[in-house]
Chain A
Amino acid sequence: MKSYFDKVHTWGRISCITTICVLFLVPIVFCIHYNAWPPLQGVLKGLAAVMPLYWATAVAEVISYAPLLGAGGSYLSFVTGNIANLKLPCAISAIENAKVRPNTEEGEVVTTISIAASSLTTTVIIALGVLLFRPILPKITAPESVFAPAFQQIIPALFGAIGASYFIRHLKISVLPILAGALVLVFVPSMQIGVLIIITIVVSIGGAYLMYKKNWV
């Protein structure tokens, strides 16, 4: 009998492949319907501008997020996107609240439920937002709106709260990666967040491992 994890991987693989097909349907159907095939050179030029960075980031993201999101959670998150600002904090908070350990079957179930609920919420809100609030939303998000600062500061607001839940329990581990991240940014201000994440994760794990060996944590 197949284990739950094996089944998740089978479903996940099928869902990734079908998603790729569904996604390509959009440009293909559009081009056929309007008989508007773009010049290949234009497409390639555009791709040359974004692909090296995006495909490299994809590798980094799969390696660094997948262990945290669980198997089912990873398949779902990478299909629905917005991982760093949405799915990941959501999964971390769910693991915390349910008091289960990541990388166990219980952790797997909780992260999957959390990310599925988050994906549904996001998809529905985006759809509702687009269809219903289209006329007023520009006013809320416009640079001169009263609400604009709230949306501009969403990253510190989000990661402050998530960070705090870890600082409470793992203060010793937390200091080093934050200092490392800040130091890197001081010297390389234009560092892409995808690359910075890899550095801070390596520093954090290395530091935690040493502290564990010295019986500090």
Chain B
Amino acid sequence: MFKESKLMYALAAAVILFVIAQSVFFLVKAWKQGKKLGLSSQTMRGTVTSSVLFSIAPAVSVVATVIVLAKALGIVLPWIRLSVIGNITYETTAAEAALNVFNSSVSEPVQDPQQFAAIIWVMTVGCIFPLILLPIFLKSIQKKIGHAAATNAKLADVISAAAFIGLIAAFIARSIVGVGTKDNPADGAGTLSVLVLVVSVLLMVILTKLCDRFKLKWLENFTMPLSMIGAMGAAILLTRYLPPEMLIEWRY
């Protein structure tokens, strides 16, 4: 079958090796620069450890998306697309939009190589725009920020914290009042999403306080992944043991 042919696997291997090489290159360069700046190896190793741990659970959810799309597109194309620029929500939408043009959908396997080729083109062209914007604009965006940061350190700290908070706020707002679809009882905001949010916040606050109180340096890198995984665990328990009439979404 063309969707999972040797050629497709070879293309996937090429793309993935390229991505790995690029990450390793930037990692080595940043590490060397960190040494020059006097960052301790302990700090940098801690950064690697916490980032690896942090990425595992979301990465598994990406694999889940690959599997979902595999039904229509075979396993290799979603794998390539989600390893490069890919994003869970976009890729699913792009595939669905492209398939709809051919009166098909992600719930049915694609049979025609021409149709499949059209989908690859749509998914590729749809996603590459950031890679055109970055080489042109990133340097000037960063320069402006660097300049502002140099002139007023306290204000720059407040503003950059505010920018992070603004971003986080959008996702939190969505977990509180976001709209789901009618046939899925768990994709919009409701008791479950709010409780999971609360558990995650509480775990993080408790773990951070514990680290401060007892000077648990080793635990600091794990507070965020632990809170996240703990809250995901809570989602499983709540779904199982809360009476179904309490598991509601506010609106859909």
Interface size on A, residues (CB 8 A): 159
Bound state CA distance, A33 and B57, in angstroms? 37
| In the complex, chain A residues 60-92 whose Cβ is within 8 Å of any chain B Cβ | 61-68, 70-72, 74-76, 78-86, 88-90, 92
Q: Which of A25, A45, A65, A109 is packed against the most chain B CB atoms within 10 Å?
A: A109
Q: Is the CB of B220 within 8 A of A93?
A: no
Write out, one digit per residue, whether chain A residues 110-121 have a CB within 8 A of any chain B CB (1) or not (0). 101111111111
State the total of A-B contacts with C-beta under 8 angstroms. Answer: 547
Q: Which of B89, B172, B173 is packed against the most chain A CB atoms within 10 Å?
A: B173
Interface residues on B, range: 35 or more
Nearest CB on A from B223, distance (A): 8
Nearest CB on A from B8, distance (A): 7
CB < 8 Å: which of A42, A61, A86 contacts B130?
A: A61
Consensus secondary structure, chain A interface: helix
Write out, one digit per residue, whether chain A residues 14-36 have a CB within 8 A of any chain B CB (1) or not (0). 01111110111111011101101
| In the complex, chain A residues 123-152 whose Cβ is within 8 Å of any chain B Cβ | 123-127, 129-130, 133-134, 137-138, 140-141, 146-147, 149-152
Q: Is the CB of A112 within 8 A of B118?
A: no
| In the complex, chain A residues 160-206 whose Cβ is within 8 Å of any chain B Cβ | 160-170, 173-174, 177-178, 180-182, 184-186, 189-190, 193, 196-197, 199-205
B162 neighbours in A (Cβ, 8 Å): 170, 173, 177, 201, 204-205, 207-209
Q: Is the CB of A19 within 8 A of B84?
A: yes
